[in-house]
Amino acid sequence: MNATLDQLRRAVPGRRVLLTGAAAVVTMDPGLGVLPRADLLIDGERIAAVGAGLPAGDALVIDVSGAVLAPGFVDTHRHAWEAQLRRIMPDVNDLGEYVTSTLAGIAPAYEPQDMYIGTRLAALTAIDSGITTMLDFSHNSRTAAHSDAAIRALADTGIRGVHASMRPHFGDWDGQWPADLTRLHDTHFAAGGLLTLRLAALATGEVAGPDLAYGEHLARTARDLGIGVSIDAVFGPPSSEAILGWAEQGLLGPHVSLIHCTGLTRQAWQAMADTGANVALAPTSDAQIGLESAVPAIDEALAAGIRPGLSIDVEVALASDMFTQMRALHTVQRMRAVHAVYGTGEQPVRIGVHDVLDFATLQGARSIGLGDVAGSLTPGKQADVLVVRAEDLNNMPLNDPIGTLVLGCDARNIDAVLIAGQVRKWAGTVLDVELSTLREDVRASRDRVLHASGHAGRRL
């Protein structure tokens, strides 16, 4: 039979589901590759098998003819609480303008409910566009209640969420961070599940003072809790010096993810590679806002032997989806490669669509400590799966599955999204959200924080 949504949602835990007849299964598993005309079997939360002609047995069967199956995208860094402020400053000129306007000007007006609404909106939008894992770099944790609200929003959407906790840059706050990480860990994350916790920090004290700069104290906090660390604003000579210092102190390693990484020295890149540190690029953020060199550091990462993850960053000025990040990076790197050898007899070294899809899935998961859980359609991993319509008007005919995913698709082509085997989007619609109510909540929250912060004129 062809299972209905109602049957899938009423099925007992641990039920088996067979996605059958896909035009292609893009596994992003190096050992499996792309499988034409194949099936995928889900057993409860996990992928049980992938291949052609899998027996259905007692599984609920979903016919996915004409579709491509792919792993969900992984967003390694997004400031989700800002979602009510989407595109409020689309032509932001530099980091200082963003910091002054958003972090210093508007962020102090956020109440816990505003944190919940913004984070929930960001997570639902992520699911709609095929992002099944989102790291929320939650740097407006003014009180314990602010953190609790952001975490609850992730849980309520059903996304695979990573709450990276950091105190606010400016304004009044309770002084509870980083000590409150212990309470967060024990209250929200001790039982496992879809949510994980990380410590968030900045690379240096340039933006908001030394208390937010990663160092021995924050490293010890993360180490005592057994959690990873995500470090934002990693760019330029000061961050390069900081990286060398961290390496010397033994504070770098696979548990650390460095974000942006523009304008770093070769010595810093070598230290990152030698210690196994991870990198999360923000292609449109670096280029559009003009962070340090304004060039996404893909060539530098690959030269050091580091395959990075990708991220959205700030929706106040940027697109919300991973398709944009993949295309921007693909275009920028290939432009740089050709430009570098223009007028010579040398051949440019260009990345391809497989590379950027790898960054958006498997490498993204690895970079935030979830490589054993997500990022590829590997048997044994959690079933974070996209069903993408490959014969829609903008995709037909299907000639190259990875090329189609990277260069052809957008959110409208994502027919279904499963996270840990649970359906979160079906027939093109995100489930468990009443759009009219959400719209009212988002507008009311936006209007309140803009009015409270003295920015009431910045809306239609």
Structure confidence by residue, pLDDT tens digits, 385-418: 999 999 999 999 999 999 999 999 999 999 999 9
- Helix, coil or strand: residue 430: strand
Q: Is residue 281 part of a domain?
A: yes
CA distance 237 to 48: 47
Do 218 and 91 lie in a common domain? yes
Do 200 and 329 lie in a common domain? yes
Q: Where are the alpha helices (DSSP H) in 129-252?
A: 144-157, 180-184, 216-225, 236-249
- Burial label for 195, CB within 10 Å (0-12, 13-18, 19+), is middle
**Mean pLDDT across the stretch 302-308?**
98
Do 59 and 86 lie in a common domain? no
In terms of Cα–Cα distance, which of 32, 127, 171, 174 is closest to 419? 127
Per the structure, the complete domain to which residue 391 belongs is given by 5-72+375-427
pLDDT digit string (tens) for 12-46? Answer: 567 899 999 999 999 999 999 999 999 999 999 99
Angle between helices 236-249 and 266-275 (to 10 degrees): 30
Q: What is the pLDDT of residue 257?
A: 98
- Helix, coil or strand: residue 230: strand
Do 150 and 186 lie in a common domain? yes
- Residue with structure tokens 């990286």? 243
Do 308 and 255 lie in a common domain? yes
Q: Which secondary structure element, helix H or strand E, spans residue 164, and what is its range? A: strand 160-165
Q: What is the pLDDT of residue 246?
A: 98
Q: What is the pLDDT of residue 5?
A: 67
Do 177 and 293 lie in a common domain? yes
Do 254 and 120 lie in a common domain? yes
Do 274 and 187 lie in a common domain? yes
- Helix, coil or strand: residue 248: helix
Q: Is residue 450 part of a domain?
A: no
325-349 burial, b at 16+ Cβ within 10 Å, e below that, comes to bbbbbbebbeebbeeeeeeeeeeee
pLDDT band at 456 (very low <50, low <70, confident <90, very high): confident
In terms of Cα–Cα distance, which of 153, 156, 162 is closest to 131? 162
In total, how many domains does the chain have? 2
Query: What is the DSSP annotation of 59-77?
Result: -EEEE-BTEEEEEPEEEEE
Do 151 and 57 lie in a common domain? no
Q: Is residue 114 part of a domain?
A: yes
Q: What is the pLDDT of residue 192?
A: 84
Q: Is residue 168 part of a domain?
A: yes
More confident residue, 123 or 459: 123
Domain boundary among 318, 349, 367: 367
Do 312 and 210 lie in a common domain? yes
pLDDT band at 8 (very low <50, low <70, confident <90, very high): confident
pLDDT band at 444 (very low <50, low <70, confident <90, very high): very high
**Mean pLDDT across the stretch 48-56?**
96
pLDDT of 109 above 90? yes
Q: Which of 96-100, 382-386, 445-449 is predicted with the least confidence, judged by mean pLDDT?
A: 96-100
pLDDT digit string (tens) for 207-229? Answer: 777 899 999 999 999 999 999 99
Q: Is residue 434 part of a domain?
A: no
Q: Is residue 459 part of a domain?
A: no
Q: Is 236 left (phi over 0), alpha (psi -120 to 50) or beta?
A: left
CATH number, domain containing residue 358: 3.20.20.140
Q: What is the pLDDT of residue 398?
A: 97
Yes or no: say if 359 and 309 are a contact pair by the CB < 8 Å rule: yes
Do 63 and 170 lie in a common domain? no
pLDDT band at 1 (very low <50, low <70, confident <90, very high): very low
CA distance 310 to 130: 14
pTM: 0.97
pLDDT of 457 above 70? no
Query: What is the DSSP annotation of 351-375?
Result: --HHHHHHHHTHHHHHHTT-TTTSS
Q: Is residue 447 part of a domain?
A: no
Q: What is the pLDDT of residue 206?
A: 82
Q: What is the pLDDT of residue 459?
A: 56
**Mean pLDDT across the stretch 198-202?**
98
In terms of Cα–Cα distance, which of 197, 185, 214, 306 is closest to 254? 306
In terms of Cα–Cα distance, which of 35, 29, 32, 62 is closest to 421? 62
Q: Is residue 449 part of a domain?
A: no
CATH number, domain containing residue 413: 2.30.40.10
In terms of Cα–Cα distance, which of 63, 71, 72, 62 is closest to 27? 71
Do 35 and 145 lie in a common domain? no
